[in-house]
Amino acid sequence: MCWRDPVSEKLQQASTLVALNALQHETMDGYLLSALECFTALDLEGGLAALCQFNEALQAHAAHEEQYMLPVFDGVGRQDGELPRGASIDILEGDHVSLARLSTRSHEAAIALDANRPDLRRQVVLMLPQIYRLRSVFEHHTVREQELVYPLLDRQLVADAHQRLLASLRQ
Ligand SMILES: [Fe+2]
Ligand SMILES: [Fe+2]
């Protein structure tokens, strides 16, 4: 029997940009939740591994969006006269910069935890807000893309351009 990764199967089946982006963001949020679960159980190795997974997935996803989606979105905005309020190219790129910075900070804070000190639980408690901050900015960015960016692209792109963008963002 052949084992199939259910998430990558769903990614292949997603026929709208909204659905594809939602799946990709859910996967990334899952890494953050795993990190929080591990750190609250004082599993530093597991927590760090989950943060690394988040960071790698975020970098790849943001790079694809910047390379393939933002130029198309900018073009749609020019056709319509303007982009929706709260979803300018500058705002979207700014979100990616903030997320990368907060992800690096969370990673650095996790690396700085010292398992040999007797106050490990206290160190973890003081570090967790860093991850919650990252998750909250990520949630905000997800809403922006799911409500303002991808629905507009799903509606406005002609079939060819829509398929091309779906394929580029699936990578
Ligand atoms: Fe996204
Ligand atoms: Fe994004």
Work out the average pLDDT over 127-144: 98
Work out the average pLDDT over 141-154: 97
**Residue 38 placed within a domain:** yes
What's the sign of the alpha-carbon dihedral 46, 52, 54, 60? negative
Q: Is pLDDT larger for residue 79 or for residue 1?
A: 79
**Residue 1 placed within a domain:** no
User: Residue 142, by phi and psi: left (phi above 0), alpha (psi -120 to 50) or beta?
Assistant: alpha
CA dist 51 and 104 (Å) reads 9
Where does the pLDDT of residue 3 fall: very low under 50, low under 70, confident under 90, or very high at 90 and above? low
Q: How far is the CA of 111 from the centre of ligand 1 (A)?
A: 27
1: pLDDT strictly greater than 70? no
Mean pLDDT of the chain: 95
Q: How far is the CA of 114 from the centre of ligand 1 (A)?
A: 34
Domain residue limits at 166:
6-170
Q: Pick the range with the lowest mean pLDDT from 3-12, 14-23, 111-120, 151-160.
A: 3-12
Residue 158 sits in a domain of what CATH number? 1.20.120.520
**Residue 133 placed within a domain:** yes
**Residue 105 placed within a domain:** yes
CA dist 126 and 120 (Å) reads 10
39: pLDDT strictly greater than 60? yes
79: pLDDT strictly greater than 90? no
Residues 6+ apart with CB under 8 A from 4: none
At 95, is the secondary structure helix, strand, or coil? helix
**Residue 93 placed within a domain:** yes
Q: How far is the CA of 147 from the centre of ligand 1 (A)?
A: 11
Closest CA to 17 of 65, 63, 75: 65
Over the stretch 19-34, which tens digit does the pLDDT of each residue have?
A: 999 999 999 999 999 9
Q: How far is the CA of 122 from the centre of ligand 2 (A)?
A: 33
- pTM for the full model? 0.93
Which residue's entry shows tokens 């990558």? 8
Q: How far is the CA of 92 from the centre of ligand 2 (A)?
A: 7
What pLDDT, on a 0 to 100 scale, did the predictor assign at position 4?
62
Please count the structural domains in the chain: 1
Q: How far is the CA of 3 from the centre of ligand 2 (A)?
A: 30
Q: Pick the range with the lowest mean pLDDT from 20-24, 35-39, 80-84.
A: 80-84
What pLDDT, on a 0 to 100 scale, did the predictor assign at position 2?
52
User: What DSSP string describes 115-168?
Assistant: TTSTTHHHHHHHHHHHHHHHHHHHHHHHHHIIIIIHHHHHHHS-HHHHHHHHHH
Closest CA to 18 of 79, 69, 55, 54: 69
